[in-house]
Amino acid sequence: MIDRARGGFAVIERDQSDGDIMVRAAWLYYVAEKTQNEIASILGVSRVKVARLISDARTSGIVTIDIDHRLSALSQLEERIRTKFDLKFCYITPPSDDDESAATSEAQEAVARRGVGMVAAKFLRSMLVQDQAKETVIGLAWGRTISAMADAFLPVHTPDVQFVSLLGSLTRSASANPFDVVQKIASKTGGQAKYLPVPFIADSEEDREVFIQQRVVQDIIRTAMRAQACFISVGECDSSSFLSRYGYLSKDDLKVLHKLGAVGDTLGLFFDKSGNYIDSQICRRTLAINLSALSQSDIILLSAGTSKVKATHAILKAAFINGLVIDADSARQLERLL
């Protein structure tokens, strides 16, 4: 729900079991020693509901001497990460029950993407359902995790919502193309899909300036800057990254970026371990909206797969991010960097 009077939207309760949210409320109250008002803000529910959840946790036996729930450890980790980076929320997907030794790294990351995508899709859907009284603009990046969110998003009728891409299009075929992601979610809501009708990376800095000054591009940028929430993902800076796989980063590009200290990217703009943007030639050719221009938006980072942990840590340190959805394995590795 958008609530600008309090400096941003109130966090929407994720679509989860009553037992799960009851445990989260109980842990925050009895262990983290949060007030009921603070818990209401963290969970995105009313203070009255928080009081009822805490009471129900006691009467149902969930709260005895400690909190009897296998996800209580994740609730504790969520709160540590949320507090460390001053986030409005941190959601950690449950750990996989699969035998890690029997799964390949690629398979594990695919599972992580699906899990993070499902949680993000439920969060977005809840936000749209609870905010139908006003015009809503949602900014979308691209990538495999954002694509997983689009796949998992369940249809809902919210025709007044505008979905806008935050960067130019991939010119090569890819299911994570921002055009495809924006259109897929818009089609599931009856809302509008708006795109940056330019390539993701221009041939030169001069070409980028020509593209960026086009009237239709400026119109999309102005729309994106009105976004209440933006969903972005993060990429690693190596040969296995999405950009490298689709030919946007050569070996020479990677060498230059590594020399400049790059550890990852979001929206095609690279940053170092402290979250500072890298001033490189390829970044100056990228057609994407800088996160610093979205200061009025709540920026939600989707991070799936342990290969993204260092990059995730870096962008969280930059303090652009308001909310985080991350898989359990990555969250545990992230904790070691805190």
Say if 252 falls within a structural domain.
yes
The pLDDT of residue 227 is above 80: yes
**CA dist list (Å): 79 to 91, 193, 195, 264, 294:** 9, 35, 36, 25, 25
Say if 152 falls within a structural domain.
yes
Structural domain harbouring 60: 1-69
**CA dist list (Å): 127 to 81, 106, 161, 165, 335:** 22, 31, 11, 18, 28
Domain end residue (candidates: 69, 97, 126):
69
Say if 109 falls within a structural domain.
yes
Q: What is the pLDDT of residues 187-196, one digit of tens each?
A: 999 999 998 8
Considering the domain architecture, whether residues 166 and 270 belong to the same structural domain is answered as yes
The model's confidence at residue 23, banded by pLDDT at 50, 70 and 90, is confident
Contact 145, 121 (CB under 8 A): no
What is the CATH classification number for the domain harbouring 12? Answer: 1.10.10.10
Mean pLDDT of 14-36: 78
> What angle, rounded to 10 degrees, do the helices at 215-224 and 205-212 form?
80
The pLDDT of residue 6 is above 50: no
- Region of poorest pLDDT, from 71-85, 172-186, 229-243, 258-272: 172-186
The pLDDT of residue 324 is above 80: yes
The pLDDT of residue 220 is above 60: yes
> What pLDDT was estimated at residue 133?
62
What is the CATH classification number for the domain harbouring 228? Answer: 3.40.50.1360
Q: What is the pLDDT of residues 133-163, one digit of tens each?
A: 678 999 999 888 999 999 999 999 999 999 9
Considering the domain architecture, whether residues 126 and 205 belong to the same structural domain is answered as yes
**For the chain, what is the mean pLDDT?**
85
Considering the domain architecture, whether residues 94 and 52 belong to the same structural domain is answered as no
The model's confidence at residue 2, banded by pLDDT at 50, 70 and 90, is very low
The pLDDT of residue 128 is above 80: yes
> What pLDDT was estimated at residue 31?
72
Domain end residue (candidates: 36, 69, 102):
69
- Region of poorest pLDDT, from 14-28, 104-118, 241-255: 14-28
